[in-house]
Copies of this chain bind each other. A is one copy, B any other.
Amino acid sequence: MSPIETLFTRAKLADGSLKDIGVSGGRIISIDPSSAEAPLAESVDLGGALVVPGFVEGHIHLDTSFFGDAWIPHKPCTNGFDVHERVAFQAQNMAQAAPMDERARNQLDLCIANGSTQMRSHVMVDGSVGLKSLGTVLAVREDYRDYIDIQLVAFPQSGILKSSGTPQLMDEAISMGADLVGGLDPASFDRDVEGHLNVVFGVAEKHGVDVDIHLHDGGTLGLFTIEQICSRTRALSMQGHVAISHAYGLGDLPVEAVKRAAETIAASGVSIMTNAPGNHAFPPVALLRTAGVTVFSGSDNIRDSWWPYGDGDMLGRAMMIGYRSGFYTDDELKAAFDVVTDSGAKALRLDGYGLKIGAKADFVTLKAEHVPEAVVAIPRERSVYKAGRLVARNGAVIRA
């Protein structure tokens, strides 16, 4: 057994116990009851702070936020929400914004400072931007490798069939370094569910990568699309490798229909991502979890062309999930926390996640009595450790 390089003493775990956490080579190699004796290894006294695994930011857009850049007032659509017009507004906004890599860094700093140590970001790949955004974000990811682990999804923001050359671009995006294939409202955007999914799952199968599809379509159309995605997932034995982001259809259908859908989704090993939107029906988190569905979360858009909200804080997101879901008991608040930690790790198939021996030493210290209190109080005082190294404290990233 390798010797402990750093011993984190007096860490209060979620069960209330006080432990000393030994770290070596960026991994947790020991978790023992806190001892009154002076530790031998280099030690960091956590002083009884609550210690939780680093948060999983499961859905973000590193390429499109204006956070940290000049304020861009939200421009409403001309005649009610129109996704094509919004994409056009986004192109206009991005033309006048700071360079993408600068904006991506701003957003990463925000997320890391708030305690996210793992992330999945969608990055636009379409006929207009080609693979340029992906190239930029790949380079930024490399620069941040000691701060946060990032999965990138090739995201067809302008549709796959409607945007010329996109199927080929999706394929190239994976070769270039994207980790997953994305998708976007196969029915309402491309008007061709099967054609859209043929490309998504085709590229995924060819490269052996996972899938994460944006699905805003609601009601029975959304439900139908979910069923089609589940069916393809099972046919390709991709259980555990497919996620649907938003899945609004699960939020606005009768509970009996949603229960049946939840069984299908669970049996297909498809994960559901929700950010608990403010004025839109969203998937019933408790019902899905009870059915065995992995529900994870993310900030989604942060201060971009789609809306002005978002703070990059996955603990705050857990509060919002609980608040919007009517979670009041300690067990319910723990469930909201699970969504932004362990369930996120499961959906992203993260290796070595959690406070356990052998896992990466990625953790956050919080000034809170326990997890339920942390979820409702969202304490700002935090220290964030990545691979055992302090990477952020009280809202500021610490450079090596």
Contacts of A370 in B (CB 8 A): 71
Task: State the main secondary structure of chain A at its contact with B.
Answer: loop
A308: interface (CB < 8 Å) = yes
State the CA gap A85–B309 with chains docked (Å). Answer: 37
Taking the complex as formed, is A161 at the interface, i.e. its CB lies under 8 A from any CB of chain B? no
> At the interface, yes or no: A380 with Cβ under 8 Å from chain B?
yes
Which residues from B are CB-within-8-Å of A369? 71
> What is the CA–CA distance of A320 and B307 in the complex, to the nearest angstrom?
14
Q: A55-80, CB under 8 A of B: which get 1 and which 0?
A: 00000000000000001011110000
Is A380 touching B380 in the complex (CB atoms < 8 A)? Answer: yes
Contact yes or no, B328 A307, CB < 8 A: yes
A144 in contact (CB, < 8 A)? no
**A279 in complex: contacting residue of B74, B303, B309, B325, CB < 8 Å:** B325
Is there contact, CB below 8 Å, between B372 and A73? yes
Task: From the candidates B311, B319, B326, B377, name the one contacting A378 in the complex (CB within 8 A).
Answer: B311
Contact in complex: B74, A329 (CB < 8 Å) = yes
Whether the Cβ atoms of A328 and B372 lie closer than 8 Å is no
Bound CA–CA A370/B73 (angstroms) = 11
A308 to B372, CA, bound (A): 9
Q: How far is the CA of A1 from the CA of B373 in the complex (A)?
A: 52
- Report whether B278 and A324 are in contact in the complex, using a CB–CB cutoff of 8 Å: yes
Q: Indicate which residue in B76, B326, B378 contacts A278 across the interface (CB closer than 8 Å).
A: B326
- Roughly how many angstroms separate A71 CA and B374 CA in the complex, as a whole number? 11
A323 touching B311 by the CB < 8 A rule? no
Which A316-334 residues have C-beta < 8 A from chain B?
A: 319-320, 322-326, 328-330, 333
Known: A279-B323, A279-B324, A309-B319. A329 touches B76 (CB 8 A): yes
- Cβ of A94 under 8 Å from chain B: no
Question: Distance (Å) between the CB of A308 and the closest chain B CB?
Answer: 5
CA distance A77 to B326 in the complex (A): 13
Contact assessment for B328 and A308 in the assembled complex, using a CB-CB cutoff below 8 Å? yes
Instruction: Tell yes or no: A376 within 8 A of B by CB.
Output: yes
Residues of B within 8 A of A307 (CB): 328
Nearest-neighbor residue (CB-CB) of A330 within chain B: B73
Residues of B within 8 A of A376 (CB): 303, 308-311
B residues in contact with A322, CB < 8 Å: 278, 309
B-contacting residues, A277-323, CB 8 Å: 278-280, 303, 307-311, 319-320, 322-323
Query: Within residues 365 to 383 of chain A, which ones have a CB less than 8 A from any CB in chain B?
Result: 369-370, 372-373, 376-378, 380
Provide the bound-state CA to CA distance between A377 and B74, in Å.
15
Contact B323 A278 (CB under 8 A): yes
Query: Shortest beta-carbon distance, A341 to chain B, in Å?
Result: 19
Q: Within 8 Å CB of A280, what residues of B?
A: 326
List A195-234 residues whose CB lies under 8 Å from chain B.
Answer: none
User: A368-400 vs B: 1/0 string, CB under 8 Å?
Assistant: 011011001110100000000000000000000
Closest residue of chain B to A74, judged by CB? B328
* Complex contacts, A323 vs chain B, CB 8 Å: 278-279, 309
Of all A-B residue pairs in the complex, the 10 with the closest CB atoms, nearest first, are A278-B323, A279-B326, A74-B328, A73-B330, A308-B376, A278-B324, A74-B329, A307-B328, A309-B376, A71-B373
Q: What would be 6 A-B contacts, judged by CB atoms less than 8 Å apart? A: A73-B330, A76-B328, A278-B323, A278-B324, A280-B326, A311-B376
